[in-house]
Amino acid sequence: MTHAGLLAGKAALVTGGASGIGRATALAFAREGARVLVADTDVPEGERVAQEIRAAGGTAAFLRTDVTREAEVAALVKRAVDEFGRLDCAVNNAGITGGGGAVQDLALEAWSRTLAINLTGVFLCLKHELAVMRAQKSGAIVNMSSGAGVIAVPGLAAYCASKHGVLGLTKTAAVENARSGVRVNAILPGSTDTPMLQAAMSTDPKLRKIIESSSPAGRLGRPEEIAEAAVWLCSDRASFVSGESMLVDGGSVAR
């Protein structure tokens, strides 16, 4: 029997698609048959991901997008529809770790920037993706939260607050759209071996110690492992899954 791919024929967009989990997700979606629009602020790396997909025989394009700017998000969703004729899947993955420090020491600028990208950016993407998908009466959206969306990580108050917020936003959108044909879910990755995490650990030895000791699996997750969860949630095999907060963390939160 020929394997057609879990996302064969679907049109998808992935924000934060230039590296880490976003890159792995874009590649996995293409491997499973989706046409992919990659979005990021990193133009060279984003273009490289799209080219990698095309070189492997897939269909992909790149659009520089700052998810904190509504006009750019609206243009991204419009580009997906213009390019592919529709939008079936979206993974709202763009995010930052943000400034560290205890709550009383956290600068307002660092707090505001983290929430603007990690939470408001997800809201803006959802807003414009839902408008298209509701009109189609079908679609699947995955918002990238974190294990820090359900537990505390000392020194990362803004990150934790933003990722907790993503879960509330996801659940509300899922319930609002339960009869629309559109599903909305969240993935909560554990500590994953990405450039963003490596950069954060390199600047804070205490954070590295917390992260390295937090995994019952004894290792960091791989971006490809998170991507597989996104593939399934956006596939028709997850047709009755909406409002879910899926931990993909090797048991870290469960311990």
Paired tokens of 108: 């307002």
User: pLDDT, tens digit, for every residue of 153-167?
Assistant: 888 999 999 999 999
How far separated are the first and last CA of the chain, in Å rounded? 41
Total domains in the chain come to 1
Among 115, 142, 159, 247, the one annotated catalytic: 159
Question: Is 238 a domain residue?
Answer: yes
Which pLDDT value is given to residue 83? 97
CATH of the domain at 16: 3.40.50.720
Query: What pTM, to 2 d.p., does this model score?
Result: 0.94
Counting residues of the chain whose pLDDT is more than 90, the rounded percentage is: 83
In this model, does residue 2 exceed pLDDT 60? no
Question: Is 102 a domain residue?
Answer: yes
Which pLDDT value is given to residue 125? 98
Query: Is the Cβ–Cβ distance between 234 and 185 less than 8 Å?
Result: no
Which pLDDT value is given to residue 3? 58
Domain span at residue 80? 11-193+222-245
Question: Is 215 a domain residue?
Answer: no
Which pLDDT value is given to residue 20? 96
* Rounded CA separation 103/111 (Å): 10
Question: Is 4 a domain residue?
Answer: no
Mean confidence (pLDDT) of the chain: 94
159 is catalytic: yes
